[in-house]
């Protein structure tokens, strides 16, 4: 008795599934979804390459230091790096003395407690501290940014599809709204408080162009700081903040593949030797 009931229940489930599939397909064909400005004008990230790309990729330390400089002088005014400590910057090629100086001279001091009064206080940063956020809390961040909350950038390259390419495209993608968009979607005009960028999901974002002109940052290594160069450098830096162990992971992967290759060859030779004298 149980088997027929189970069979009928399964048959009913299949029928409902097929019915839903057919009715959904008919509805889609007869009344296709209306086109939106986001669907028509949103662009995929630009083609850009980084030294860390691919299974053998390695970070360019000079580029990472330039990217950190762009973050420090431009991005850190609004965006935090909650997952990065000052001491982690040694991986970029900074010396211990340089890391100590960076932590001590950071624009925002580290939240602390006054040991004498127990009241909240601030102090100079040390290498052991995480890079402090530019705002005390979310309320202060929204108040300073027209109610928009600047996201933390620590894992941004992992949180967005195409990672570094997306960040680079967003930073270099600000432009005026195309006339074609306003012609077909007059209601999609970018509000005065927002900025048009076709690489952003809904085309409009609250962040004004952070890299507004060439020479905005004076690189310590003498590299010409064009908008394109600064965007590439800070994108590479944010790839590192999201995957600081990328080089070690690549090296481990190559070692494991080499081990598996040698083990496969040894296993094959052992097989040939063991079964050599046995005829089928």
Contact 79, 153 (CB under 8 A): yes
% helix / strand / coil in the chain, to the nearest 5? 50, 5, 45
The answer to whether 250 is a known ligand-binding residue is no
Question: How many residues can be counted in the chain?
Answer: 280
Crossing angle (nearest 10°) for helices 227-242 and 163-172: 150
The answer to whether 39 is a known ligand-binding residue is no
Question: CA 240, CA 57: separation in Å to the nearest integer?
Answer: 12
Question: CA 51, CA 158: separation in Å to the nearest integer?
Answer: 17
Q: Which helix (H) or strand (E) holds 113?
A: strand 110-113
The answer to whether 79 is a known ligand-binding residue is yes
CA dihedral 164, 252, 55, 94 (to 10 degrees): 40
Residues of each annotated binding site: 75, 78-79, 207
Residues of each annotated binding site for heme c: 75, 78-79, 207
């Amino acid at each position: 008795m149980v088997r027929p009931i189970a069979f009928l229940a399964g048959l009913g489930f299949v029928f409902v599934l097929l019915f839903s599939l057919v009715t959904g397909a008919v509805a889609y064909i007869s009344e296709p979804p209306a086109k939106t400005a986001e669907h028509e004008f949103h662009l995929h990230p630009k083609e850009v390459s980084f030294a860390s790309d691919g299974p053998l990729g390695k970070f360019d330390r000079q580029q990472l230091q330039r990217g950190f400089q762009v973050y420090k002088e431009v991005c850190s005014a609004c965006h935090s790096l909650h997952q990065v400590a000052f001491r982690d910057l040694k991986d970029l090629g900074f010396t211990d003395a340089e890391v100590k100086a960076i932590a001590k001279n950071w624009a925002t001091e580290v939240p602390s407690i006054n040991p004498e009064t127990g009241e909240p206080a601030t102090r100079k940063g040390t290498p052991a501290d995480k890079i402090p956020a530019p705002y005390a809390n979310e309320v202060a961040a929204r108040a300073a940014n027209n109610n928009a909350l600047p996201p933390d950038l620590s894992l941004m390259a992992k949180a967005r599809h195409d990672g570094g390419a997306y960040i680079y495209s967003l930073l270099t993608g600000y432009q005026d709204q195309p006339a074609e968009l306003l012609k077909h979607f007059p209601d999609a005009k970018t509000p005065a408080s927002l900025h048009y960028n076709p690489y952003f999901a809904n085309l409009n974002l609250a962040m004004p162009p952070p890299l507004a002109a060439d020479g905005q940052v004076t690189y310590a290594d003498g590299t010409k700081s064009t908008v394109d160069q600064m965007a590439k450098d800070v994108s590479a830096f944010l790839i590192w903040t999201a995957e600081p162990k990328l080089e070690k992971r690549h090296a481990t992967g190559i070692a494991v593949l080499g081990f598996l290759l040698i083990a496969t060859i040894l296993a094959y030779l052992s097989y040939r030797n063991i079964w050599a004298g046995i005829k089928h």
